[in-house]
Amino acid sequence: MLYREAGQFKTTYAEDMAIFPIRQDRIALAVLLGIAFIGVPLLATFHIWPFGSDYLLWAILLPFLILALAAIGTNILVGYCGQISLGSGAFMAIGAYSAYKLVTGVHIPLAWLSFAISIPPLPVFASILLGGLIAAGVGILFGIPSLRIKGLYLAVATLAAQFFFDWAFLRIPWFTNYAPSGSVNAPELNFFGLIVQSPIERYLLCLLLVTLMALLAKNLVRGNLGRQWMAIRDMDIAAELIGIRPLYAKLTAFAVSSFIIGVAGALWAFVYLGSWEPLAFSIDRSLQLLFMVIIGGLGSIMGSFVGAAFILIVPIMLNLIPAELGVPLSTETIAHFEFIIFGSLICYLLIKEPHGFARLISIGKEKLRLWPFPY
Amino acid sequence: MPRIARNALILAAVVSGAVVSAPAAAQNEQFIPILSYRTGPYAVNGAPYANGVADYYNLVNERDGGINGVKILVEECETGYATDKGVECYERLKSKGPTGAAFINPLSTGITFALTEKTATDKIPIITMGYGRADSKNGAVFPYNFPLLGTYWSAADIAIQHVAKELGGFDKLKGKKISLLYHDSPYGKEPIPMLQVLAQKYGFEFTPTPVTHPGVEQKSQWLAIRQNRPDYVLVWGWGVMNSTAVKEAAAVAYPREKMIGVWWSGAEPDVTPAGDQAIGYKSLMLQHGAGKFPVHADIEKYVYAKGKGSTDSGKVGEVLYNRGVVNAMLGVEAIRKAQEKFGQKPLTGEQVRWGLENLNLSEARIKELGFDGMLKPIKISCSDHEGTRDGRVQQWDGKSWKIISDWYTADEPLIDPLVRDVSGKYAADKKIQPRECSKES
Amino acid sequence: MIALGQFLEVLIGGLMSGVLYSLVALGFVLIFKASGVFNFAQGAMVLLAGLALVRALDLLVANGFPLWVAIVLGIAFAAAIMATTAWLIERFVIGPLVNQDGLTLFMSTIGVTFVIEGAAEMIFGSDVYPLRLFPTDAWFVLEDVFPGGILVNKLDVWGALIAGILVAGLAIFFQRTKTGRALRAVADDHLAAHSVGIPIGWIWFVVWLAAGLVALVAATVWGTKLGVQFSITFLALKALPVLIIGGLTSIPGAIAGGLIVGAGEKIAEVYLGPSIGGGIEYWFAYVLALAVLLVRPQGLFGERIIERV
């Protein structure tokens, strides 16, 4: 009854092509953004339930936003362009370490030319974006094999990127500015004179970036480029025959995806962890991102958010519930149960809805349209 | 419709878990979080440690009714040795209980690095007994970090002292080859700068050899060792890496007597998988070793006899179990010290920090606590958050660890410049104004 | 002469450890061949098989059974566990997911990995359990030719022998038995196989069982090498490049891939590693796989991928 398109007329092409052509969707999104941008910070400022402590903000919302961003990046490559990647973690790491290098100043002595490349320390914001750009560049490089290798073979080939960069950031001391332990610290988060310190500020910063980039991604996938990607995904030979250049389409997908993942990586390191080592971007992270994308729904920006929420929050819930209910189980048993339940949930979801939450949402919308008279 | 309904129901069930209701906390309780890992590749070493910690807190509650009447409230959180999980656990537990977490003990160098800045902001001390960042010994820069009983730099120095003793003097080190086989992570890399300083001072040839996490594959490293024939191999491993190192050493016939593990590479799970091949393997001791002391009798009497123990009683007294007990005891004593100043009530992390910084355990007090023979007296101060830097060396005889050396004390004048250097750089990076320790009371 | 001896030693050591990876990779190949599922859970299955075996062995030996009886019973018990697992996976995960695309199936096996890891450790414990079925010391051969001899690990030789027997057995199974032929038919086209009366559910159960038994064999060797513990699951990641080089569908390819990866990564680590910082073998195996794929996108022995519009 509430969710009805009847009476919403589109009189211009622009209205017809809007991201959210249905008024109710626009209202829902506005409410959601309102809660995220105004409601949450307000509640958190006055420490009103459930923001009594920083926990929800620090340990759930912040990682959720950043990983959702990374999931959007992964989704562009895997969901929209159909190139399976197990190297997303590495691209996060590239974003993080490049941003770190740029923010602390780059100095490459080229002894044999008696010449050195020196870049003075850049502001944090520029470093984060440039970190993303560097990740995009490396993404293009590692995207080249995708022109020849397909499917699961490609998935394993992308692991080459994963393990290579794991190693590089661990073993090449230049990347960590010769830190003795190989662990590096984030710089002060100074955005145009504004110092981001408290959890609320960090949250707002990430929220702003994530919203902007999600919007960017949504518009990209609706446009020419996105359609090329999807054509390649659905059948690359056919796409080639109708005049889509696979080289261009695949490499742009790698570039855009790596850029977003790289920015997410820089945020993960600078804003969330504050101090990190390559293990923060290991193969587990890549698998986690792939999970988010598949559970959330391949080829859906919205799905990336839902998937990120599911993968991140369910294990924490599973861990919290027994403690809250007072079940007398040892931590060990709870941890094992967590594994079992989480694994079963994933299998269950895949069996019930192989297309993920995005599909569930769209089915739900269809039902809602007809409700309460579904004839 | 039914499928949707069912799915929705399941989702609702999951989400409703999000509505977390805080249980009514009793007022006279001191909350201490335990970050543990009982699953994953490092569970083998993480579990006994966590058991020791949990049992000692239980003992204090059961035997003494808490710390001067203030009951200890614990909650465990599983980190799986993963940094991001550790941060999540910390955020979840830091403000529980009436006064928040008294201190935190992550048992992971990676998590320590990630938490160092957060704990300073939240004013919660972070105890890293025998691990963590070596430069945090300098309490002027790291007011909330406490690498009690020994850092990796002390460990490196003690190991070289023992090598020198076996060789018959420091002058004999000249021209010798010493390899470091290390876990490729901040943990394994920490000792390298110290060993480089030592190599320069004594003129031995030092080769670091990394082993990729988790360390199940070391064949190439050991084939290289077989070719280079180093005089000693220092092992800086954790979890499966330790036992694999011992086995691979046996496979290339490298004498186990010439291997010295750090104190995290010298527990029962590190040698038992290798069976007889581990005989002769040596490791440093973080003061204590395996075995039972008066405190264990109390643990058996008050905890295990009541069925409240967290492991089977056969494992009480293992190396890592004992380390957990020692760690918990130092934390409890710090709280006791802080209570002298702030009153016998639940204390905040900031108050416990004062207790830690002024912790002073005499030999008599250690004996009173039942740790006679496990520990040497320890005194923490503003400029020295390590307290003591003593260690011994033990050797595995196929059944148990035997102590084979006297006490060594790490060479402070040698380590201190490095501590000052690295911590000074951290302070500059983070724009921290170091405290002036001479002015602290 | 010393240099040559050392090189041979590294080469032999590498080839041998490559064969040990192949043991794990074989399980992947079996399942992929018959059902198109890229089974990420193979590493977890090795852990489960190893834990079941070693716990049963310890219990039986503690109760006074002679060692050989304990070994036979322990293996039987572990095999039964693997059969149950295979049945459960086929019944509850792979069966319902029939006809889904490869990525979904791959993800579901990661879900299965979580379940197996959790359940195995909950039931059998999460400690490290030593297993000693094979000798683990070394021979030093050709000592009169090369000073110090060439080191050959006995366990590696056992592993290679077992892998050889396993491959021969699997080849006979696939070529000569009725079930084996049915398996190949299902692998080719499961709808066609179904319509000529081959029970697909049963065939998939057999395949998962076979993979489970291969995992058990791998567990005996790797369990002796490392002790049975959680870290065994990481073998899956070491087996992937082996698999890719050999081709996802080829049993001999798994062995060949193992030999290439093993020799390549050990030589790279020992001779290239020190100059660029060491620890390179993990990614070197993958880069090797990538290089092979660029020349042959279906791996060395994989079936050619023919695409039609």
CATH of the domain at B216: 3.40.50.2300
Contacts 24+ apart (CB under 8 A), A55-61: A55/B91, A55/B92, A55/B95, A57/A199, A57/A200, A57/A203, A58/A199, A58/B91, A59/A316, A59/B87, A59/B88, A59/B91, A59/B92, A60/A312, A60/A313, A60/A316, A61/A203
Q: Could you tell me which residues come within 8 angstroms of residue B317 by beta carbon, excluding any fewer than 6 positions away?
A: B290, B291, B292, B296
In a domain, C276, yes or no: no
Q: What average pLDDT does range A236-264 have in this prediction?
A: 94
Structural domain count, chain C: 1
If contacts are CB pairs under 8 Å, which of residues 221-280 in chain B contact chain C?
A: 221, 223-224, 226-227, 239-240, 243-244, 247, 250-253, 269, 272-275, 277
B24 burial level (CB within 10 Å; 0-12, 13-18, 19+): exposed
Higher pLDDT, A302 or C188: A302
- Which of C:89-108 have CB within 8 Å of A? 92-93, 96-97, 100-104, 106-108
Using CB atoms, list chains with 3+ pairs below 8 Å to chain C. Answer: A, B
* Chain B residues closer than 8 Å to A274 by CB: 114, 117-118
A75 and A41 both lie in a single domain: no
Does B7 have pLDDT greater than 60? Answer: no
CA distance C33 to C36: 6
CA separation (Å) from B317 to B62, B291, B326, B387, C242? Answer: 19, 5, 11, 24, 44
pLDDT surpassing 70 at residue B23: no
Q: Residue C123: pLDDT band by 50, 70, 90 thresholds?
A: very high
Greater model confidence, B275 or A164: A164
Cα–Cα dist B281/B23, whole Å: 49
The answer to whether residue C295 is domain-embedded is: no
Domain count, chain B: 2
My answer on whether B349 and B368 are in the same domain is yes
B vs C, Cβ pairs < 8 A, gives 113
pLDDT at B6: 52
Contact between B273 and B247 under an 8 Å Cβ cutoff? The reply is yes
A357 in the same domain as A283: yes
Query: Is C303 part of any domain?
Result: no
Which range, B110-124, B324-338, C222-236, has the best average confidence (pLDDT)? B324-338
Q: Touching check for A317 and chain B: CB below 8 Å? A: yes
β-sheet bridge partners, residue A191: A194
Would the CB atoms of B39 and A313 count as touching at under 8 Å? no
Inspect the interface and report whether the beta carbons of C102 and A343 lie closer than 8 Å.
no
* Closest-CA distance of chain B to residue C239, Å: 12
Q: pLDDT-derived band of residue A1, with 50, 70 and 90 as boundaries?
A: low
SS3 call for B283: strand
- Whether residues B220 and C225 touch (CB distance < 8 A) is answered with no
- B417, part of any domain: no
Question: Do A264 and A236 lie in a common domain?
Answer: yes
Q: Domain check: are A82 and A43 in the same one?
A: no
Q: Please give the pLDDT value at position B110.
A: 85
- In terms of DSSP bridges, do strands B390-396 and B378-379 run parallel, antiparallel, or are they unpaired? unpaired
Query: Is residue B273 included in any domain, yes or no?
Result: yes
Under DSSP, is residue B300 helix (H, G, I), strand (E, B) or coil?
helix
- Band (C299; pLDDT cuts 50, 70, 90): confident
In which domain, by residue range, is A177 found?
Answer: 66-370
Partner A contacted by C88 (CB < 8 A): no
Residue range A243-263: mean pLDDT, rounded? 95
Q: Indicate whether B4 belongs to any domain.
A: no
What local confidence, expressed as pLDDT, does residue B16 receive?
Answer: 45
CB contact under 8 A, C279 and B210: yes
Task: Please check whether residue B338 lies inside any domain of the structure.
Answer: yes
Does a structural domain hold residue A375?
A: no
Say whether pLDDT at B14 is over 50: no
User: A303 and A206, same structural domain?
Assistant: yes
* Chain A residues within 8 A of C308 when measuring between CB atoms: 237
Together in a domain, A35 and A125: no
Give the per-residue pLDDT at B22: 41
Phi, psi of A329, deg, nearest 5: -115, 150
Taking contacts as CB-CB distances below 8 angstroms, the residues of chain C near A307 are none
* Backbone angles phi and psi of B385, in degrees to 5: -85, 5
- The helix (H) or strand (E) run that includes residue B154 is helix B152-167
Indicate yes or no: CB of C137 within 8 angstroms of CB of B272. Answer: no
SS3 B392: strand
Backbone angles phi, psi at C66, to 5 degrees: -65, 155
Q: Which of C113, C122, C293 sits opposite A336 (nearest CB)?
A: C122
**Are A268 and A339 in the same domain?**
yes
Q: What pLDDT score does C51 carry? A: 95
Sign for the pseudo-dihedral over CA of C3, C5, C11, C14 = negative
Residue C246's SS3 state is helix
Q: Which of residues 272-311 of A touch B (CB under 8 A)?
A: 272-277, 279-280, 284
In a domain, B23, yes or no: no
With residue C292 as reference, give the H or E element that holds it.
Answer: helix C281-295
Is B437 among the domain residues? no
Query: Which tens digit of pLDDT belongs to each residue from B334-357?
Result: 999 999 999 999 999 999 999 999
> Lowest-confidence range among A138-152, A266-280, B4-18?
B4-18
Q: Is residue A289 part of a domain?
A: yes
**Domain interval for residue B232:** 152-285+393-411
Cβ atoms of A334 and A322 within 8 Å: the answer is yes
Which chain C residues touch B if contact means CB-CB below 8 Å? 6, 9-10, 13-14, 17, 121, 126-130, 132, 136-138, 140, 151, 153, 155, 225-227, 229-232, 234-235, 238, 265-266, 269-270, 273-274, 277-279, 281-282
The encoded tokens of residue B19 equal 């509505």
Give the up-direction half-sphere exposure of residue C276: CA atoms within 13 A in the CB hemisphere.
14
Is the same domain home to B278 and B164?
Answer: yes
Higher pLDDT, C304 or B362: B362
* Residue C112: per-residue pLDDT: 95
| pLDDT band, residue C1 (cuts 50/70/90) | low
Residue B234 lies in a domain: yes
The tally of domains found in chain A comes to: 2
Instruction: Please write the tens of the pLDDT for every residue from A190-228.
Output: 888 888 888 899 999 999 999 999 999 999 999 999 999
Tokens 């046996």, residue? B250
Which range has highest mean pLDDT (A9-13, B212-216, B235-239, C190-194)? Answer: B235-239
Dihedral (CA of A75, A79, A81, A86) sign: positive
Q: Specify the pLDDT at position A330.
A: 77
Please list, in sequence order, all residues whose beta carbon lies within 8 angstroms of the beta carbon of residue A106, skipping any fewer than 6 positions away: A117, A118, A119
pLDDT of residue C92: 93
* CB contact at 8 A, B4 and B73: no
Sorting pLDDT into bands at 50, 70 and 90, what band is C184?
Answer: confident
CA–CA distance, C264 with C258 (Å, rounded to integer): 10
The pLDDT assigned to B161 comes to 93
Residues 6+ apart with CB under 8 A from A112: none
Residue A132: its pLDDT value, please? Answer: 96
Residue B435 lies in a domain: no
- Distance (Å) of CA B437 to CA B122, B139, B387, B416: 21, 8, 15, 15
A97 plus A47 within the same structural domain: no
Q: What is the pLDDT of residue C189?
A: 81
Instruction: Decide: B117 and B93 in contact? Cβ < 8 Å.
Output: no
Mean pLDDT taken over chain B: 87
pLDDT score of A250: 95
When CB atoms are compared, the residue of A155, A160, A241 closest to C287 is A160
| Residue B186 shares a structural domain with residue B270 | yes
- Average pLDDT of span B404-428: 89
Which among A279, A253, A297 is positioned nearest to A154, based on CA atoms? A253
Q: How many CA atoms lie within 13 A of B416 on its CB side?
A: 7
Contacts 24+ apart (CB under 8 A), B308-313: B308/B58, B308/B62, B309/B51, B309/B55, B309/B58, B310/A330, B310/B50, B310/B51, B310/B54, B310/B55, B310/B58, B311/B47, B311/B48, B311/B51, B311/B55
Torsion, Cα C105 C109 C114 C120, to 10 degrees, reads 150
Q: Name which of C88-102, C131-145, C195-209 the model is least confident about.
A: C131-145
Whether residue B228 is found in the same domain as residue B276: yes
- Give all strands (DSSP E) within C166-235, no chain letters: none
**Positive or negative, the Cα torsion across B215, B217, B221, B227?**
positive
The answer to whether residues C204 and C90 touch, using CB atoms and an 8 Å cutoff, is yes
A26 shares its domain with A109: no
Does B243 sit within 8 Å of C17, measured CB to CB?
no
Q: What is the pLDDT of residues A74-99, one digit of tens each?
A: 999 999 999 989 999 999 999 999 99
Which pLDDT value is given to residue B17?
A: 42
In chain C, residues with a C-beta closer than 8 Å to the C-beta of B247 are 136, 225-226
Clarify whether residues A299 and A357 are in a common domain: yes
Tell me which residue in C93, C112, C282 faces A167 most closely, judged by beta carbons: C282
Whether residue A108 contacts residue A172, with contact meaning beta carbons closer than 8 Å, is answered with: no
Per-residue pLDDT of B66-117, as tens digits, reads: 999 999 999 888 888 888 888 889 988 888 888 889 999 988 888 898 898 8
Q: Percentage of residues in chain C with pLDDT exceeding 70? A: 98
Phi then psi dihedrals of residue C160, to 5 deg: -65, -40
Residue burial A7-33, b: 16+ Cβ < 10 Å; e: rest: eeeeeeeeeeeeeeeeebeeeeeeeee
What phi and psi values does residue B277 have, to the nearest 5 degrees? -65, -20
Q: Coil, strand or helix: which one is C40?
A: coil
What are the two backbone dihedrals, phi and then psi, of residue C146, each rounded to the nearest 5 degrees? Answer: -110, 135
Burial class of B364 by CB neighbour count within 10 A (0 to 12, 13 to 18, 19+) = exposed
Residue A183 predicted with pLDDT over 90: no
* Residues forming beta bridges with residue C150, ordered by sequence position: C141
Residue C121 belongs to what domain range?
2-232
Q: Is residue A247 part of a domain?
A: yes
Mean pLDDT of B310-317: 83
Q: Which of 205-224 (B) contact A at CB < 8 A?
A: 210, 212-213
Q: Which residues of B touch A58 (CB under 8 A)?
A: 91
Same domain, B193 and B278: yes
Mean pLDDT of chain C: 88
Of A180, A277, A335, Cβ closest to residue B110: A277
Give the nearest chain C residue to A341 (CA atoms).
C115
Q: Please give the model's pTM, rounded to 2 decimal places.
A: 0.91
pLDDT band at C309 (very low <50, low <70, confident <90, very high): low
Contact C269 B221 (CB under 8 A): yes
Residue B332 has pLDDT above 90, yes or no: yes
A286-307 pLDDT, tens digit per residue, is 999 998 998 899 899 999 999 9
Is A110 or C44 the better-scoring residue by pLDDT? C44
